[in-house]
Amino acid sequence: MNRVPLEGKVLNENARVAAELRERFREHRLLVVNLISSPGSGKTALLEKTLDRLPGSERVAVLTGDIQTENDANRLKRYGFPVKQITTGGTCHLDARMIEKHIADWDLETLDLLIVENVGNLVCPSSYDLGEAAKIVLLSVTEGEDKPLKYPSIFFKSELMVLTKTDLLPYVPFDVAAAVENARRVHPDMEVVKVSCLTGHGLPDWFSWLERRRQTLLAALPQPVV
Amino acid sequence: MHEMGIASSILDGVAVEVRRRPGSRPVKVGVRIGELAGLDPDALRFAFEALTLDTPLAGLELDIEYRAPRGRCRECAREFEVRNFELLCPACGSRNAEVISGDELEFAYLEVEEDEPCAAGRKSPE
């Protein structure tokens, strides 16, 4: 019997496509974020408010994933930005191939920000790289503040936690400090933004996070020749 | 959920190595998987078995080294194993730490049986 060392990554198809996408996004200087949460945490509501408040001149597009129906895309299309629905037909997450297919006829050069709304699920989407620059996890105050400990993988991998539905805080026994502490227990660098899409409270923090994140991305890219 | 694709990639890697070693038969392949890679080892073993069944690679063993993530303390520079996804320095108790590994998905080794030197069909030295 002879044991020989083997080197190299077991590169699966998704990782390969995601790496290609990331390279394309970099070339086009495009910030791509991947929104992940349980169903009903308010991903689509946050996107509605985001698109509603953005000036029409902003170069933003949205891909929204669901198992079935075009409902989310229909909710989001009325704001005038490019929006496409990805229906997975049963699959519980988006994968890189779906992103590649759905952006095929978009000119990425005309975009600065692409927001991907993943299928509502805190588990499987955390395993699938979509070529995004950052994963963002949403947690609504009607969920438990121990969710970061119950579903650590996604909190571990997300740069930002958006606490949503904060207008409900007076009515629910949700401990914001405990939720933030739990998130930072699994991810000490976790950034946190608190928003209410009903009252608009905290939305400026969300916008400034996106802007800062895009600047960080651009700063890391080779500067264009002037 | 993507364990089938990973199992298939592992078998592709085995095939490449075996082609480089004519006359050898793979017996066991070792891989290193980090807890953060988002793979279920049992599902991977199941997929691996299903893909090798009734093929020339039937019986090939899969050895999975499942690794906890490692962290590094930013206060005292100690490196440590992260347990239960909790970043906590065991030396100084600080939570000011970063993850330095844990999503690996790598080949480790391949065990092969080589043909005996006197096996039939081998040219004897002139």
Provide CB contacts within 8 A for A40, sequence distance 6+.
Answer: A120, A140
DSSP B1: -
Q: How many structural domains comprise chain B? A: 1
Among the partner residues B6, B85, B87, nearest to A12 by beta-carbon distance? B6
Provide CB contacts within 8 A for A139, sequence distance 6+.
Answer: A37, A41, A147, A148, A161, A162, A163, A164, A179, A183
**Residues of A in Cβ contact (< 8 Å) with B6:** 10, 12
What pLDDT score was predicted for residue A39? Answer: 96
What pLDDT score was predicted for residue A226? Answer: 63
B99 pLDDT higher than 80 = yes
B103 pLDDT higher than 50 = yes
Best A12, A149, A154, A182 member to test B by mutation, with max B CBs in 10 Å, is A12
What pLDDT score was predicted for residue B39? Answer: 84
For chain A, domains (ranges, CATH) are 36-220 (3.40.50.300)
CATH number of the domain at B19, please: 3.30.2320.80
What pLDDT score was predicted for residue B45? Answer: 96
d(CA B76, CA A27): 39
What pLDDT score was predicted for residue B126? Answer: 46
d(CA A194, CA A162): 6
What pLDDT score was predicted for residue A218? Answer: 95
Shortest Cα distance, chain B CAs vs residue A131, angstroms: 15
Is B120 inside a domain boundary?
Answer: no
What pLDDT score was predicted for residue B117? Answer: 59
What pLDDT score was predicted for residue B118? Answer: 52
B119 pLDDT higher than 80 = no
Q: Do B85 and A13 touch (CB under 8 A)?
A: no
d(CA A176, CA A196): 14
B122 pLDDT higher than 70 = no
Is B116 inside a domain boundary?
Answer: no
Per residue in B53-90, pLDDT (tens digit) is 999 999 999 999 999 999 999 999 999 999 888 889 99
Kind of pairing between the strands at A2-5 and B105-114: antiparallel
B1 pLDDT higher than 60 = no
Ordered per-residue pLDDT tens for chain A, 226 residues = 789 898 877 877 788 899 999 999 999 999 999 999 999 999 999 999 999 999 888 999 999 999 999 999 999 999 999 999 999 998 889 999 999 999 999 999 999 999 999 999 998 888 889 999 999 999 999 999 999 999 988 998 999 999 999 999 999 999 999 999 999 998 989 999 999 999 999 999 999 999 999 999 999 988 776 6
* Both structure tokens of A179: 């939720």
DSSP A9: B
Q: How many beta-carbon contacts under 8 Å exist across A and B?
A: 93
Query: Residue B43 is part of which domain span?
Result: 3-111
Provide CB contacts within 8 A for A195, sequence distance 6+.
Answer: A46, A49, A162, A163, A164, A166, A201, A202, A203, A205, A206
ipTM of the complex: 0.71
CA torsion angle for B33, B37, B40, B43 (degrees, to 10)? -80
Closest-CA residue of B relative to A186 is: B86
What pLDDT score was predicted for residue A217? Answer: 96
**Residues of A in Cβ contact (< 8 Å) with B5:** 12-14
Best A9, A10, A130, A155 member to test B by mutation, with max B CBs in 10 Å, is A10
Is B124 inside a domain boundary?
Answer: no
> Residues 71..100 of A with a Cβ closer than 8 Å to B: which?
92-93, 95
**Residues of A in Cβ contact (< 8 Å) with B9:** 10-13
